[in-house]
Amino acid sequence: MTKSKILNHFTLLLILIIYTWFLKGVTSEDYIVGDGDEWNSQGNFLTWSTKYNFTVGDVLVFKYVKGQHNAYEVDEKTFRSCDASSGVLTKYESGNDKVKLTEAKKYWFICNVSGHCFGGMRFSIDVKQGNNPSSDDTNPTTDGSPTSQPDELPAVPPSSSSRSTLSSDTWKNGIYTLVFVILFKLFY
Ligand SMILES: [Cu+2]
């Protein structure tokens, strides 16, 4: 009797832990670009952009001294050329720019102050759908297929973000299964 009680408590605790984990994935998060170093000429934003798995609903916050930098959302061509005479989607210049990631797609950002883009103030992120397993599994990812890789990647090395996101999806599916099994064992 007591043994099974302990087991039940343990299971409840496990469910709680998994649930906290799970909720962390569901809720949207604010990401300060560059973390504590913020958006400036010294940062390595290629490294920063691969640190997180961004999902739809997350918010990027660009923090900098107004006038010293800016944040342009651009297309891929402009990201690579650093030439913002075309391909600019949105300009952010307030010094505290909140950019909500509303779509599951690739986003490219540059700073358009002279020399800053080439100096490293640019990055791209691959925003995923988030905790919606059905759409995650059925969405054919264009960047994941090996056939589309070699032809269109000149200057900048590809980020490893898509790979780590894939493995986190596998993780989530595993957690779903685990929760299901535990609930099943608990109630039947
Ligand atoms: Cu700048």
Residue 186 pLDDT: 72
pLDDT top residue among 116 and 9: 116
In a domain, 59, yes or no: yes
Containing structural domain, residue 87: 30-126
**Does a structural domain hold residue 85?**
yes
| Residue 143 lies inside a defined structural domain of this protein | no
Centre of ligand 1 from the C-alpha of residue 160, in Å: 24
Residues 98, 60 contacting (CB under 8 angstroms): yes
Look at residue 184 and tell me if it is in a domain.
no
Angle, vertex CA 169, rays to CA 164 and CA 174, nearest 5: 125
Chain segment 123-140, per-residue pLDDT in tens: 999 999 986 544 444 444
Distance 73 CA to ligand 1 centre (A): 13
For residue 116, being part of any structural domain is answered with yes
Residue 39, classed as helix, strand or coil, is: coil
Instruction: Give the Å distance between the CA of 103 and the centre of ligand 1.
Output: 25
Which pTM value belongs to this model? 0.60
Helices (H), the chain: 2-26, 45-49, 76-81, 133-138, 161-187
The number of domains in the chain is 1
Is 164 among the domain residues? no
DSSP 118: T
The tens digit of pLDDT for each residue in 57-71 reads: 999 999 999 999 999
For residue 125, what pLDDT is reported? 98
CATH of residue 57's domain is 2.60.40.420
- Percentage of residues in the chain having pLDDT higher than 90: 54
pLDDT of residue 163: 39
